[in-house]
Chains A and B, each alone.
Chain A
Amino acid sequence: MTWIKILLILSFLGMLGWGFRHRAHVGLRAGMRLAAIALTAAAIASVINPNLTTSAANLVGVARGTDLVLYLFIVIFIATSIGTYFRFREQDRRLVEVVRASAIREAVLSQGLPGQNETDPDTRR
């Protein structure tokens, strides 16, 4: 077990667990933005000096810089997918509520409250 393996597995699990627990948390959004800034900076730095990725990879026990970039890409892709899943879930929930409210409202406006139009109220209990 090299360091990179432990690091990768920990980051997978940590992201999953932390993301699930705190997905409504502002800290998560802030963290994502800071990570995006840091990654952009790292990307620019590695364009200027391509050897940077390899030295960073060697530091954590990976032979090639491209491999490190690939690993990072996978982790970020999974995190993004999970985030998108939750966003869609929440969006769906809101859509259901909007459509339902408007459907019931429309029915009541056009046909009256249920039970009021088809039977004479006096004959009901």
Chain B
Amino acid sequence: MPVTLHLEDPDAAAAAAVARTNDDVWVIVRCLNEASVVGDVIRGLKKVFPHVVGVDDGSTDTSSEEMARAGANVVRHAVNLGAGAALQTGLQYALLDHHADYFLCFDADGQHRVEDAAAMADRIRAEGMDILIGSRFLGRAENMPKSRGLLLRAARLFERLTSKVDLTDAHNGLRVFSRRFASQVDLSMSDMAYASELLALITRSGLSYAEHPVTIDYTDYSMHKGQRSINSVNIAMDIWLNQVLRGRR
């Protein structure tokens, strides 16, 4: 993206400096037993983003140490709470930094690319939307099994019916939120069903959202660590129950 610098204009120069350093972004990496890969993922991120927080969701391996050694701030859940709860923790921690304007979620298993994250940070800063969500269907999915593609398309239909948000890839872990949206996020579903709850929150907030093409690398590691397809049955059931009981406890 070409950036014209007007050096006599201090605001533009400052904005360009921020864009170069990504000083206004906090990257949130959720992590559960990913000690073998999470260090490299964070080292890659740290080259572009100065602020990275690793949320260790009760790992039983050395994930916390790996993340700290790679230069991330580490927030550690004493017990495993689930993906949604870890994301919420990361957001609440990063929101404590009053200089932070954008909050970027990045998966710990190495399936995302840092250059996609950097491009998304540039775009949300330039275009001023509140939510920017990565899409592997607008971009590319390397080595994605056919069954996973079909399942994700079915999920898209389900989301469209239940949340009225039409995204091509709602379950993509690469997302950027503005401070305005991030401070509204209050995920009550701790596990993987949080992705659908997030969509409901987007609808309710009425804030602007967009999708950004990204590449997902399906490595043996990420496929092995990732969710099993049958878990989508549990997720759908949880979402339905949560909608029936919405707001009440």
Contacts and interface: CB of A to CB of B under 8 A. Distances in A.
Contacts of B190: 92, 96
A46 B66 CA distance: 66
B77 A114 contact: no
Nearest to A104: B93
A23 B74 contact: no
Interface in A57-113: 86, 89-90, 92-93, 95-96, 99-100, 102-104, 106-108, 111, 113
Contact of A115 (B79, B92, B100): B100
A119 B97 CA distance: 12
- The SS class assigned to the A binding surface is helix
B18 A125 contact: yes
Interface residues of B, number: 34
Interface string B12-55: 00100010000110100000000000000000000000110101
Contacts, number: 84
A106 B76 contact: yes
A89 B85 CA distance: 14
A117 B51 CA distance: 10
A122 interface: no
A118 B50 contact: yes
Contact of B50 (A20, A23, A106, A119): A119
A100 B85 contact: yes
B96 interface: yes
A115 B245 contact: no
A22 B129 CA distance: 41
- The SS class assigned to the B binding surface is loop
A90 B96 contact: no
B93 A96 contact: no
A114 B89 contact: no
Contacts of A96: 81, 85, 190
Contact of A125 (B71, B78, B99): B99
B248 interface: yes
A6 interface: no
Residue in A24, A103, A111, A116 with the greatest tally of chain B CB atoms within 10 Å: A103
Nearest to A110: B74
Contact of B89 (A86, A89, A103): A103
Given A100-B92, A103-B89, A104-B93, A111 B73 contact: yes
Given A114-B93, A115-B97, A102 B75 contact: no
Contacts of B76: 103, 106-107
A20 B188 contact: no
A42 to B, nearest CB: 33
Nearest to A90: B249
Nearest to A111: B73
Nearest to A125: B99
B75 A104 contact: yes
Contacts of A113: 96-97
A104 to B, nearest CB: 5
Top-5 shortest CB links A-B: A115-B97, A114-B97, A107-B75, A100-B89, A103-B75
14 contacts: A23-B248, A86-B249, A93-B249, A100-B81, A100-B85, A103-B78, A114-B51, A114-B96, A115-B26, A118-B71, A119-B50, A125-B23, A125-B24, A125-B99
Interface of A: 20, 23-24, 86, 89-90, 92-93, 95-96, 99-100, 102-104, 106-108, 111, 113-119, 124-125
